[in-house]
Every structure is written in C-alpha cells, then in structure tokens.
Chains A and B, each alone.
Chain A
C-alpha cells in the first residue's frame, strides 16, 4: 500500500498532462455545451446594436471620395469576392460560371453602366437574383471600393485603343509598360 502511495504523485502528474493543451474553454466556431443550440459563438440577441453598427451604417450610407487607394483596394476585393463568377475583366465568365453557374451580365452592360454606384453596393449587400448577398464577407467600405473598381472595369471595356497613350498601347500588345 505504501508503495502505491509513492506512485500517487506520478499518477496525478500524468493525468494532468493534457490539461494545458486542452483547457476547459470555448474555441472560436467550436462547441458550446452551455447553450441549447450547442454553438460557442452565439448570435447577439434580437434588437441589440453592436458598438460599431452606427459606424458601419454610416460607411454604407455615404460614398467615400474616389482615390487611387480606393481603386486598388476595390481591385483586390473584386478579385477575391467577385471574380469567381464575374471574372477579372467583368465579362461574367468566371471559373464558377464555367462549371455551370448561371452567367451574370457583363459589367459593361448599358444598364449597369447607367446604374449609380450605390446600385452595386446594394447588390453586394442584399444579393440579386441567384447571387447571394456578400454582406458577411465584404465590409461597407470595401463594397464602395468594389463599386469604384467596377467603374474602372467598365471604362477599360469601352475605351477605344486609339485613345490610349503609347505606353499603355505597348502594355496592351504584350510589351512591358
């Protein structure tokens, strides 16, 4: 019996080996047994307003001034979130469309050229037709940035080659800019 007692510290140490690695706490996107739906990440109760909600609403309301940085951000976000369907040029022939997703209209469609920038922001926010909303993926400011970049894409598809300067023409024909 005394010998067994001597082993006790060892047994206790062994049993605690894993406790620091798997601490009794909730992981992001993990299980939360305390809640009826079993999710650690709970949706805020209905009617609550997050601290940054007014700022988000304000960002959605007002179009930010057009800058080169906004366009660059728009290009990056467009390539991430829009190009799978709309393709990088905006023609609506992205890789997901090639797999059978209904083709969206080309972004230089006259209807979309005439549409105000707010229209694109609203489509990203609410979705349109078979397009799901992307509000959970694209922040309000980024929606405006994408709308700005869509203008650049439209411009790029309707500008005659003759109007480009020599450097841009060389770039277009495969030379270095």
Chain B
C-alpha cells in the first residue's frame, strides 16, 4: 500500500493550523478596532444640515435650556424636535435678513418642515425612552456630549450596545440630581464626595442593575 501522506504533511498541517489561528486572531483584533472606529460609530463626524445651527451659540453663549426646544424629553420616548415656530420665536426679530436663516423663514411661510439630518440615532430594533433617563437623573451630556461646545452638531458617543451596557451594568456613578439634568459642565461634581449619591439614588428609584441588562428592556 502506498503512503497517503508525504514526509512533510505533518509540517504543513502544523503550519496550516497556526496560520488559521493567527488569521482568526488578527481578524478579531481588526474587527474589534473597526467597529469601534469613528468610521462605523460616526463619533465626531459633522453632517451637512440645511441650516448651520450652532448648539454652542444657543446653549453655550445664550444659556438656553435644552428643554426650550426639546420639549418632550421629560414626558416621552423622543426628546422632540422643535417646530419652525420655536425657531421663529426669537428669529422673527433677530437675524431677520440672514441668508443662513432663509430655509427657516421659508419653512414658516410654506409650512414645509426643515429637513434636518439626524445625528443621534439608534438602530430600529432598540427601543429607547428619554423620559425615564431624564427622570432618574442621567444628564443630557452623558450621551450627547458637550453640545454647548459644538458649533455644528456631532455624535459624541458610539451608540453601540456595549456602550449602553457600560452604564446599565453599573448605573450608580452616572446618576446626578434630576433637577439638574440639562447641566453641561459636571467638572465641579466631586466624585469622591458624592460616592454615596449614586447608590442612594439607585435605592430610592428602585434601580436594580441585575434587571438592567434584561434583553427585553431595550429589545422588544
């Protein structure tokens, strides 16, 4: 009976197994880097908008509260998009001839909404509710970043499941006084001095981390 395997077959097999193993490892590392990269998450990318609206000007310079425009953030799943009527509350008097605001004036005159491009978006298989997060004291800045420093709106966080879970697995350090949710700058929040605050609030509101990772909490 002739030999089935050549003398070098064993070496080829070892080399092959090693190569496949390395391949899996390298692909894994690359994949992990790729899905976390800003090309996938869109973190820091600015989208073209019909009007170059500046949150820096309106929030940072003027100090207008988030809820002046995002009116349903406390009561519903969506933060709420301001109607053109809201823009024109001030801009019927201010910058009335500005070319940049022409789409806003046209929108009011014709009743056609301004086609804003959405910046913060979750996949359709996730159900997210703003009101519960706001009521429990997760500040706007946690997910949306320092919008008071953004001349043009950009995504501040990778809206991916592992990022959601970072907080859902350990909510305590992320909780703040609910009456200050729209506050942007928390650099003066003394984390050590407030070490007991998160656990206290979690107990008060009945937030149970073991239930916060239930699949059906967000996927239903």
Q: Is A119 an interface residue (CB 8 A)?
A: no
Closest to B77 in A: A28
Q: Which residue of B lies closest to A82 (CB)?
A: B68
**Is B94 an interface residue when CB atoms closer than 8 A count as contact?**
yes
Contact assessment for B90 and A80 in the assembled complex, using a CB-CB cutoff below 8 Å = no
Chain B: interface size category = 20 to 34
Task: Indicate with 1 or 0, residue by residue over A136-147, a CB within 8 angstroms of chain B CB atoms.
Answer: 110000000000
Chain B residue numbers with a CB within 8 Å of A131 are 89
Looking at chain A's contact residues, is the secondary structure mostly helix, strand, loop, or mixed?
Answer: loop
Q: Are A99 and B94 in contact (CB under 8 A)?
A: yes
A25 and B65 CA atoms in complex are apart in Å by 31
Q: Which residues from 74 to 97 on chain B have a C-beta closer than 8 Å to any C-beta of chain A?
A: 77-78, 81, 83, 85-86, 88-90, 92-94
Q: Is B113 an interface residue (CB 8 A)?
A: yes
Query: What is the bound-complex CA distance between A102 and B93, given in angstroms?
Result: 8
Contacts of B4 in A (CB 8 A): none
Interface assignment of B123: CB less than 8 Å from any CB of chain A: yes
Q: Which of A21, A29, A81, A102 contacts B123 (CB 8 A)?
A: A21
**Chain A CB within 8 A of B23 CB:** no
Q: Are A137 and B124 in contact (CB under 8 A)?
A: no
Number of A-B residue pairs with CB-CB distance less than 8 Å in the complex they form: 62
A18 to chain B, nearest CB (A): 9
In the bound complex, how far is the Cα of B83 from the Cα of A132, in angstroms?
Answer: 13
- Residues of A with C-beta under 8 A to B27: none
Kindly supply a per-residue 1/0 record for chain A positions 44-73, scoring 1 wherever the CB is within 8 Å of any chain B CB and 0 otherwise: 000000000000000000000000000000
Q: Tell whether, in the assembled complex, residue B94 and residue A100 are in contact, meaning their CB atoms are under 8 Å apart.
A: yes
Q: Looking at the complex, which one of B64, B85, B125 makes contact with A84 (CB distance below 8 Å)?
A: B64
A80: B residues at CB distance < 8 A:
65, 67-68
Q: Which chain B residues lie closer than 8 Å to A132 at the CB level?
A: 85, 88-89, 92
Q: Determine the chain B residues whose CB is within 8 A of the CB of A95 once the complex forms.
A: 61-64
**Neighbour of A100 across the interface among B67, B77, B92, B93, CB < 8 A:** B93
A162 to B188 Cα, complex, angstroms:
36
- Residue of A whose beta carbon sits closest to that of B75: A139
**Residues on A facing B (Cβ under 8 Å):** 20-23, 25, 28-29, 37, 39, 76, 79-81, 84, 95-96, 99-102, 130-132, 134, 136-137
17 residue pairs bridging A and B, Cβ less than 8 Å apart: A20-B123, A20-B125, A21-B124, A22-B124, A23-B124, A28-B77, A29-B78, A37-B112, A99-B94, A100-B93, A100-B94, A101-B90, A101-B93, A130-B93, A131-B89, A132-B85, A132-B92
Residues on B lying within 8 angstroms of A by beta carbon are 61-65, 67-68, 71, 77-78, 81, 83, 85-86, 88-90, 92-94, 111-113, 123-125, 179
- State the 7 A-B residue pairs at the shortest beta-carbon distance, nearest first: A23-B124, A21-B123, A80-B65, A132-B89, A95-B62, A29-B81, A28-B78
Given contacts A37-B112, A137-B68, A137-B86, 18 further A-B contacts (CB under 8 A): A20-B125, A22-B124, A23-B124, A23-B125, A25-B124, A28-B78, A37-B111, A39-B113, A80-B65, A80-B68, A81-B68, A84-B63, A96-B94, A99-B62, A100-B93, A100-B94, A101-B90, A130-B92
